[in-house]
Structure 1
Amino acid sequence: MKRYIITLSEAHDDMERVQGALIRMGLNPGRAAEELFEGQPREFTFLPELGILIAALSEIEMETIEQDGAVLAIEEDGKEQILGVVERSGSILHNSTALWNMQLIRADVVWPTGKFGTGIRVAVIDTGIAEHPNLHIYGGQSYVAGVQSYADDNGHGTHCAGIIAGKGRNNVFGVAIGAHLYAVKALDSTGSGSTSAILSGMDWCIQNRMQVISISLGGRRAPDIGYIRAIKKCHDNNIVVVCASGNSFGSAFPWVNAPANSFTRGDDLESPIAVASVDRNKVVAGSSSRGGQTADWNQINLSAPGVSILSTFLNFGYATMSGTSMACPHVAGLAALVLEAYPGIAPPIVMALMATSATPLGTAPYPNEPYGHGIIDCVNAVGLVQAKRELPRVTSPSG
């Protein structure tokens, strides 16, 4: 028996139709307590905002469901892993070099103009966020089995959160100091988790009206239909989705990881912003994933600092970490600055502004495989937004 992610057709993505489809397939929508899977009740979980069903099924059940017209795709639940590595950790009193990454993307030039991403709701889908004097957490949710708290017990999520919205204690700043952080715990203390937990977190983000999602995790596989659906639904609800590209270059899977590689030809709404990692010399990290096995995979869109980044960590401390995990929240922070500067613009416009304002790296033509459109530039991105008052607005989702 395995757990599956069942993406339903648009015509069957509400709960009433889901229950009808299950009954039609000969399955009991109410089954639970007497049937266990991995120690948990073997029940169906429906993600209403995504139109996705998660279920533990026998092979016969899976084959039955696969044939039903209500089902767009059925995929085995995947494995996800954090994409950042701790180099060192501990306490610091003050670090005069901590700002190098913020200076590289010119976030420090934007702050004196009063732009801090104030009030923009940013969800970090990760290992959770720990309490820290340099962070303010506004809420969250856990999707790790048996764990109710969204507090971080690994450190990775707390580090990413500090890059987004660190308050500046000990000279450790985030890109969007005023952003409101939300912790969506989908990975356990080892930094691993499931696709179903990530999707559950994305469903929560839509329900709770997040504006940016930062996802610094991934799996070495082709694009998933479930992720493609989830990203599109987030974009439909005016949520910018930013993903780490992966740290697998030079391996048997050198390409952009899932979910960053999500892509459907002809529909940009189904792709996230895939972020590569560069060092302080703006050189791509040797492990930073790039390209796609086929043209039907999302490519690198933007680059950001991801080598030896100092940020918040467990036990009120700090750590230096490297990986595309660290590059991703820089871009999520910039998305918050852009949304504050020009409220109401749609996710594709946020992406376009960050791309056209980036500083090209590597060789032309751009975007290129290692760097995408180049390294983000906060000054140009925010300034470009302010100059484009004719850009269309979109209505915020109700609720």
Structure 2
Amino acid sequence: MWFKQKKIFFVIILFVLVGFGSISEVHAEASEGSIDVLFNDVASVEVFKEKLLSIDSDVEFYEIPEIYLLRINQPSPKIEQEIYKNKNVEMSGKLTEILIEDKRLIDQKIPLRNISMSRSLTLQNTIDDFDLLDNLAWYKYTMIKNQQSFEFSEGQGVRIGLIDSGVDIYHPLISPVLDLSNAKSYIEGDNSIRDTNGHGTMVAGVIAQISPKAVITPYRVIGDATGDSYFTIQAMIQAVQDEQDILNMSLGTYKYSNDENEQITIEAYERAVQYALQNNVMIVSSSGNKGLDLDLKFQEEGIRHLPGSIPGVFSVSALTRENALASYSNIGSNIQFAAPGGDYVIEDGYLDVTKLIYTAYPTDMDNMLGSIGVPQGYMFSTGTSLSAPAVSAAIADYYAYYQKMTGERPTIEGIKNDLSSTALDLGVAGKDTSYGYGLPQVSDAYGLIPTYTFSVAQ
């Protein structure tokens, strides 16, 4: 089969003739002609729905009742007037775009030339795709401390909701860890969870290596190149109801808190996050790839990155292979942890791809890297989008061991306390805006987990 093709390959160095491309952003506006409306309580929603139907019995609307949100399609002038005058309406407008700040190698417009291989690998006769992945996935061993973590846990049975662009369900690395019973697409007109973007498969590939016995359920909210915050929030709520333990959200949106038109998006995400937290479902989010100090941007311009800036979310910044802050990583006071995201490093005019993240990629999408010996189904990339799943997977490992030792689910606060107190502190002493509490050391956190206690009668 294709994934058993033999390669002679370890360190690839590429010659750079042109500068790096700008960050690729995926945008999507809310449905044309729709209005989103937020209320304070469910009773207000029900009263308003009755009013809508009395004005226009054919009016079409969607509903996320858990956060008191309605989306009204093609509202008539009378309905619009009712929205603006109704006292039960807290705010109205449009939930707008979501972003993927993608930094995969094939989007950087770098010519692939001057391949250099390591002597140690050249001496080998053959190497298959999984061996190649094992050799290049340095970030895996950073997170599991060179297999020490796996002696305790591999994330057995922990459920991770992947809110992203879907996955390649046939990928040999990912297919064994998928649970498709609750998988769902929120792309209008497309019920498939097939990953036509590539991003979700890359993220899932990171999880599958660091927590190989966790269970991933994909919720597709990004199609080829578009997404919508309304459906992203709907996926968050559904994933909680499907009893996912962790939501991985390697995506986000930048919003101005002082812009009345964008406040509804901020409020809707805050409500969705609160709903998850109330149900003891933790959210791990990328911090973003624009190299921004988000605290400073908020002070100066009122900009927030969602959902990463919302209290209670585990926002993750990106590390280089040397455990330094990656050049593109956003920072801010809501950063809780840092994890490998890789970086583009040029030395003597060459790009060393061993500093990047090597992960899964859809097998039915051309990775355009065959000329340098990279098999189809794999990709080099960087970004906080890949740091977040590294933390999600590490938490899954901790979560499974906690359940094994105590018979109970850990609380979000308990997870944070144990991981933060054992994290490798980077930067200034203590929690900081660049690294948060630092790089999780899950194998050390296991020692803080209590064991079963039995009464004398037992």
TM-score, structure 2 normalization: 0.70
- CA deviations on 1:83-136 (whole Å, 9 max, x unpaired) are 3321159x9463253231122223543454240111111111010011201113
Q: 1:251, CA displacement in angstroms?
A: 9.2
Counterpart of 2:191 in structure 1 is 148
Which residue of the other structure, out of 372, 375, 395, is the alignment partner of 2:439?
375
Alignment of 1:187-336 (within 5 A): 187-190=222-225, 192-222=226-256, 224-250=266-292, 257-263=305-311, 271-291=312-332, 299-307=334-342, 308-315=356-363, 317-336=377-396
Q: Return the letter of the residue paired with 1:326.
A: L
Contact 1:115–1:337 (CA under 8 A) maintained in structure 2: yes
- Give the share of equivalent positions with the same residue, in percent: 23
Q: Return the letter of the residue paired with 2:172.
A: P
Q: Return the letter of the residue paired with 1:283.
A: A
Give the distance between the partners of 2:324 and 2:362, measured in 1 at CA: 29
User: Is residue 2:387 matched to residue 1:345?
Assistant: no
Q: 1:151 to 1:28 in 2, by over 3 A?
A: farther
TM-score, structure 1 normalization: 0.80
Alignment of 1:16-35 (within 5 A): 18-24=45-51, 31-32=58-59
Q: Return the letter of the residue paired with 2:433.
A: E
Counterpart of 1:123 in structure 2 is 161
Secondary structure at the residue paired with 2:161? strand
Which residue of the other structure, out of 413, 420, 428, is the alignment partner of 1:355?
420
Secondary structure at the residue paired with 2:99? strand
Q: Return the letter of the residue paired with 1:276.
A: S
Secondary structure at the residue paired with 1:53? strand
Contact 1:120–1:339 (CA under 8 A) maintained in structure 2: yes
Give the distance between the partners of 1:28 and 1:175, measured in 2 at CA: 54
Q: 1:22, CA displacement in angstroms?
A: 2.6
Counterpart of 2:371 in structure 1 is none
Q: 1:60 to 1:302 in 2, by over 3 A?
A: farther
Q: Return the letter of the residue paired with 2:49.
A: L
Between Structure 1 and Structure 2, the one with more helix by share is: 2
Unaligned runs of 5+ in 1: 33-42, 166-173, 264-270, 292-297, 391-399
Q: 1:373, CA displacement in angstroms?
A: 1.0
Counterpart of 2:174 in structure 1 is 135
Contact 2:284–2:313 (CA under 8 A) maintained in structure 1: yes
Name the count of aligned residue pairs.
Answer: 352
Q: Return the letter of the residue paired with 2:235.
A: G
Which residue of the other structure, out of 157, 162, 169, is the alignment partner of 2:200?
157
Q: Cα RMSD (Å) of the superposition?
A: 2.9
Contact 1:274–1:299 (CA under 8 A) maintained in structure 2: yes
Secondary structure at the residue paired with 2:275? helix
Contact 1:256–1:290 (CA under 8 A) maintained in structure 2: no
Give the distance between the partners of 1:280 and 1:303, measured in 2 at CA: 12
Q: 1:71 to 1:382 in 2, by over 3 A?
A: farther
Q: 1:53, CA displacement in angstroms?
A: 2.3
Q: 1:178, CA displacement in angstroms?
A: 0.3
Secondary structure at the residue paired with 1:124? strand
Counterpart of 2:83 in structure 1 is 65
Give the distance between the partners of 2:163 and 2:293, measured in 1 at CA: 26
Between Structure 1 and Structure 2, the one with more strand by share is: 1
User: Is residue 2:105 matched to residue 1:87?
Assistant: yes
Secondary structure at the residue paired with 2:380? strand
Secondary structure at the residue paired with 1:257? strand
Give the distance between the partners of 2:86 and 2:146, measured in 1 at CA: 54
User: Is residue 2:42 matched to residue 1:12?
Assistant: yes
Unaligned runs of 5+ in 2: 1-31, 108-127, 258-265, 343-355, 364-375, 404-408, 454-458
Larger Rg: 2
Contact 2:35–2:94 (CA under 8 A) maintained in structure 1: yes
Secondary structure at the residue paired with 1:105? helix
Counterpart of 1:171 in structure 2 is none
Counterpart of 1:268 in structure 2 is none
Contact 1:222–1:261 (CA under 8 A) maintained in structure 2: no
Give the distance between the partners of 1:232 and 1:301, measured in 2 at CA: 17
Give the distance between the partners of 1:278 and 1:320, measured in 2 at CA: 15
Q: 1:222 to 1:239 in 2, by over 3 A?
A: farther
Give the distance between the partners of 2:241 and 2:361, measured in 1 at CA: 28
